[in-house]
Homo-oligomer: A and B are copies of this chain.
Amino acid sequence: MFTFLKKLSIIILVKFMEKKKDLRIIKTQNLLFTSLIKLMKDKSFEEIKVADICNEAYINRSTFYSHYNDKYELLVDFINELKNNLLSSLEKNENIVNTKDYYIEMIHLLLEHIESKKDIYFSILKSNRSSILIDIIIEVAVKDINKRIEISNIHKGNVPTDILVKFYLGAVTSIIIEWLESKNKYTKKDILNYLDELIPEILV
């Protein structure tokens, strides 16, 4: 119970530090985000101008500059939003005991998150920024994995844990990108089955 309150207070503190008090700020920020997503469907991020983003969002350009110094800051902010979102999606995974099950369930949650925000992730790929997608998945997944301290002690082989983790996360991410890019070629279930087959029990 105390832990819960502690958690809550931290969240409130973070929100407070972010200074997102004023509704107007939240409103414009969301408008800028959705504008960015929409534009990234048709253009690469480099081609998108600050003026484009503002026009699409019906927001004055000087307002944009009162929030961000340039479009790259907007992108970083947007990506962090996605990361936090994904991280909390993965939290449902906390009380799975078996390690292999944990990994498969994590990938399951990952795919569900991405499918629920397919527009956004597809826009990221379209805008020629696949490295963003890779960054998001790997960073968030590593954070989640690091919560399960035991893992680092379990693996019996000669391969260091960080290498092991990067190996399989790179593999999974690569498949996810293939899944997104090939649109309707594979279902979410297909991908999950393939990964279940490809990730060995040895990991446990």
Which residues of A from 52 to 98 have beta carbons under 8 Å from B?
72
Give complex CA distance A65, B28 in Å. 39
Report chain B residues within 8 Å CB of A168: 171
Report chain B residues within 8 Å CB of A31: none
- For the complex, is A16 an interface residue (Cβ under 8 Å from B)? no
Report chain B residues within 8 Å CB of A186: 163
Q: Give the size of the chain A interface in residues (CB under 8 angstroms).
A: 34
Give complex CA distance A134, B135 in Å. 13
- For the complex, is A2 an interface residue (Cβ under 8 Å from B)? no
Which residues of A from 158 to 204 have beta carbons under 8 Å from B?
158-160, 162-164, 166-175, 177-178, 186, 193-195, 197-198, 200
What are 24 inter-chain pairs, A to B, with CB distance below 8 A? A129-B131, A130-B134, A131-B134, A134-B134, A157-B197, A158-B193, A158-B197, A159-B197, A160-B194, A163-B175, A163-B178, A163-B186, A166-B175, A166-B177, A167-B195, A168-B171, A169-B174, A170-B170, A170-B171, A170-B172, A170-B174, A170-B177, A171-B174, A173-B174
Chain A residues in the interface with B (C-beta under 8 A): 46, 72, 128-131, 134, 138, 157-160, 162-164, 166-175, 177-178, 186, 193-195, 197-198, 200
